[in-house]
Amino acid sequence: MAELMNRDEFRTALENAIQGKSANKSPFSIAWASGKLARAHLARWAENHYHYVGPFADYLAYIYGRTPDTMTEAKDFLLANMYEEEIGGDRHTDLLIRFGEACGTTRARIENPDNMSATTRGLQSWCYAVAMREDPVVAVAGLVVGLESQVPSIYRKQTPTLRDKYRFTDEEVEFFDLHIVSDEIHGERGYQIVLEHATTVELQQKCLRICEVGAQMRLLYTTALYRDYVERDLPLADLGLEREAVAA
């Protein structure tokens, strides 16, 4: 039977829960990191990614509204994350659109929800459902710790490749640069909220479970990007992967 963990134990357990299904292991991420994607593939990624991360402040706003006013610091952290996503500097989605345009797509195509895949629509819907329905602390664990905190490690691997192998300019890949810093702040705020407020065995276990599910959802999303847009041009064998390993 599970026992109540202290902060250090709980943090390690959260990190392990995310690590098990890290999106770094998806064929799309592997193809990206090895420089094998065409710009057209990256354009499709931008057209999908916009609809997953674009509403992030909306997801957080639902959580914010349901967080008790006694959790002042947690609410402040959520509000700071929302502000920084939207108006703290350049709007993050504008930088994503700039990258998409460098890949050959357009703002209109990126903003058009008809250009996202069914799986992306599923991921977006899951994010909304978690934000609206779960205990606020569990929702933060799922969306901020489970999803957003993964981003720095993914982009840290992908950003040098975008410059060195895909030959994008610094300005074109600014979306990825900023996320290494800002998502580190946002993810860390998420950890602080969860570590501070998941103070029962039941809440801790729910947080761990939703981190696992969140990481699975992100892996599902990136795997579908590969299948929907890349596989016909770049089979798994060209990435040194086997079908069974990806299915698992």
DSSP class of 134: S
To another protein, the closest distance from the beta carbon of 177 in angstroms equals 7
Contact 144, 81 (CB under 8 A): yes
Instruction: Show the tokens assigned to 200.
Output: 């029962």
Range in contact with another protein (rule: CB under 8 A) among 46-54, 114-122, 187-195, 202-210: 187-195
State which of residues 3, 114, 170, 244 lies at the interface with another protein (CB under 8 A): 170
CB neighbour list of residue 85: distance below 8 Å, 6 or more residues apart: 56, 57, 60, 91, 92, 182, 186
State which of residues 51, 189, 206, 218 lies at the interface with another protein (CB under 8 A): 189
- How far does CA 229 lie from the centroid of its chain? 19
Count of chain residues binding another protein (CB under 8 A): 18
State which of residues 58, 86, 111, 188 lies at the interface with another protein (CB under 8 A): 188
Asked if 88 touches another protein (CB under 8 A), the answer is: yes
Asked if 22 touches another protein (CB under 8 A), the answer is: no
Classify each residue of 29-63 as buried b or exposed e, where b means 16 or more C-beta atoms within 10 Å of its C-beta: bbbbbeebbbeebbbbbbbbbbbbbbbbbebbebb
To another protein, the closest distance from the beta carbon of 174 in angstroms equals 8
State which of residues 33, 38, 40, 80 lies at the interface with another protein (CB under 8 A): 80
CB neighbour list of residue 154: distance below 8 Å, 6 or more residues apart: 23, 24, 29
Residue numbers at the binding site for another protein (CB under 8 A): 73, 77, 80, 84, 88-90, 170, 174, 177-178, 181-182, 184-185, 188-189, 192
